[in-house]
């Protein structure tokens, strides 16, 4: 079993031994810096737009952040896949253009669909959190509006304070409950990009749902470790925010190298568990059937043995019966030949002839005796 300290040590070794590794985050760091500065001075920037043009605020508030987030997500996937190739030893050096390698992929449509489906599922899992956050923000805005209309906070009516208090309390409970529900699901989906990469490389892609399901199965028992790994980078993330993203030149390769090593570690452990399971059940598709056949085998063998014994006994009785019948038939078909001194009765004579024969023998006997 691996440890988080080992994963981070391997990640540091990877970034220190890979030429050009710090060229990868230059473009995303520059984009993050520009975006941060733009957000900071957005109010001043909007003042240059014509108020009569309604699309300018819409683009600034919704369209541009959406495009920026989508572009940064795809660049993050490119970074993750590039670092995975470096960790596996397939790629020895990195270049600046590697962050756009995903846009040259022939599977860009599959990547986009999988990304959207993952984000949609995460949105559904975080819906309670978003509702709680919205209620809490609405309560703050409502309290500010009531205080502004009443002149001071002390002048707000009790009914309004009760509504605000209910929104704040319910919103906080929804925030905490939604966060508890969302974080495990976010961790369960954390390996989607890496599994997607392997499936596309091996031509084993069977849809976005299959990738997400594989990630959930692989992360069983590892969510805690992944949470600790992300938590260990909290200080680096704070440093990146303080420096307007400039610290990301070191943090981004370090973070994604750690994620790649984490994926390799849990994949090896997952495959070892599968091999152990398949070794216990040679036919993994139907282990219960094999157990059922094994449990029924002694009874089947006993029944076969008893049937064999019965057939042998029946065969012996049949041979004895045949022998006795042959003996009887022999005695009937081959009668004992009569001796010379025993007359043979002619059963074909009539009764009158039989009486005459007896009388002749009685007359002949005294004469023969006198002679």
* Sign of the torsion formed by the C-alpha atoms of 93, 99, 102 and 103: negative
Residue 152: partners with Cβ closer than 8 Å, 6 or more residues away: none
In this predicted structure, what is the pLDDT of residue 65? 76
Report H helices in 189-337: 192-201, 208-218, 223-232, 234-242, 248-280, 287-333
* Sign of the torsion formed by the C-alpha atoms of 252, 254, 259 and 260: positive
Question: Is-contact 162 182, C-beta < 8 A?
Answer: no
pTM of the model: 0.68
134 is a domain residue = yes
81 is a domain residue = yes
In this predicted structure, what is the pLDDT of residue 4? 92
In this predicted structure, what is the pLDDT of residue 280? 59
- C-alpha distances out from residue 85 to 109, 197, 301, Å: 22, 10, 56
- Which tokens go with 27? 């473009």
Domain carrying residue 46: 4-284
371 is a domain residue = no
141 is a domain residue = yes
Q: pLDDT tens per residue, the chain (371 residues)?
A: 788 999 999 999 999 999 999 999 999 898 888 887 777 676 554 444 455 455 555 555 667 778 888 899 999 999 999 999 999 999 999 999 999 989 988 999 999 999 999 999 999 999 999 999 999 888 888 888 777 776 666 667 777 788 888 888 999 999 999 999 999 999 999 999 999 999 999 999 999 999 999 999 999 999 999 999 999 999 999 999 898 888 999 999 999 999 999 999 999 888 887 777 776 555 444 444 333 333 334 444 444 444 445 555 545 554 554 444 444 344 434 444 444 444 444 444 554 555 455 545 544 444 444 43
Strand, helix or coil for residue 198: helix
238 is a domain residue = yes
316 is a domain residue = no
Q: Which string of DSSP letters, residue by residue, matches 235-276?
A: HHHHHHHHTTTTTHHHHHHHHHHHHHHHHHHHHHHHHHHHHH
Question: Is-contact 115 197, C-beta < 8 A?
Answer: no
Give how many domains the chain has, as a whole number.
Answer: 1
Q: How far apart are CA 37 and CA 96, in angstroms?
A: 23
**Phi–psi pair at 342, nearest 5 degrees:** -110, 120
In this predicted structure, what is the pLDDT of residue 359? 47
360 is a domain residue = no
Q: What is the CA radius of gyration of the chain?
A: 49
């Amino acid at each position: 079993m691996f440890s988080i300290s080992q994963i981070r040590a391997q990640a540091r070794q990877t970034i220190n031994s890979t030429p050009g590794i710090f060229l990868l985050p230059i473009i995303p760091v520059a984009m993050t810096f520009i975006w941060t500065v733009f957000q900071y001075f957005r109010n001043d920037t909007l003042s240059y737009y014509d108020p009569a043009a309604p699309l300018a605020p819409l683009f600034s508030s919704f369209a541009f952040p959406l495009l920026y987030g989508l572009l940064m997500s795809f660049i993050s996937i490119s970074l993750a896949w590039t670092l995975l190739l470096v960790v596996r030893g397939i790629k020895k050096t990195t270049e600046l253009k590697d962050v756009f390698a995903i846009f040259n992929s022939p599977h860009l449509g599959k990547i986009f669909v999988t990304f959207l489906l993952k984000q949609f599922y995460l949105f559904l899992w975080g819906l309670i959190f978003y509702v709680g956050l919205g209620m809490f923000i609405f309560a703050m805005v409502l309290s500010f509006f009531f205080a502004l209309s009443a002149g001071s906070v002390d002048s707000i009516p009790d009914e309004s304070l009760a509504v605000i208090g209910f929104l704040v309390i319910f919103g906080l409970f929804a925030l905490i409950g939604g966060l508890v529900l969302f974080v495990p699901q976010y961790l369960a989906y954390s390996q989607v990009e890496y599994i997607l990469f392997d499936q596309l490389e091996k031509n084993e892609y069977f849809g976005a749902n299959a990738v997400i399901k594989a990630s959930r199965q692989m992360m069983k028992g590892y969510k805690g470790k992944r949470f600790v790994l992300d938590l260990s980078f909290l200080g680096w993330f704070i440093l990146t925010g303080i420096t307007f993203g400039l610290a990301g030149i070191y943090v981004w390769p370090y973070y994604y190298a750690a994620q790649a090593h984490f994926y390799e570690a849990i994949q090896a452990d997952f495959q070892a568990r599968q091999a152990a399971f398949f070794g216990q059940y040679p036919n993994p598709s139907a282990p219960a059937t094999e157990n059922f056949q094994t449990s029924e085998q002694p009874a089947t063998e006993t029944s076969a043995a008893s049937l064999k014994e019965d057939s042998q006994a029946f065969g012996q009785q049949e041979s004895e019966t045949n022998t006795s019948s042959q003996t009887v038939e022999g005695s009937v078909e081959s009668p004992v030949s009569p001796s010379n001194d025993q007359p043979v009765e002619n059963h074909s004579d009539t009764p009158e002839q039989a009486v005459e024969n007896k009388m002749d023998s009685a007359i002949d006997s005294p004469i023969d005796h006198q002679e």
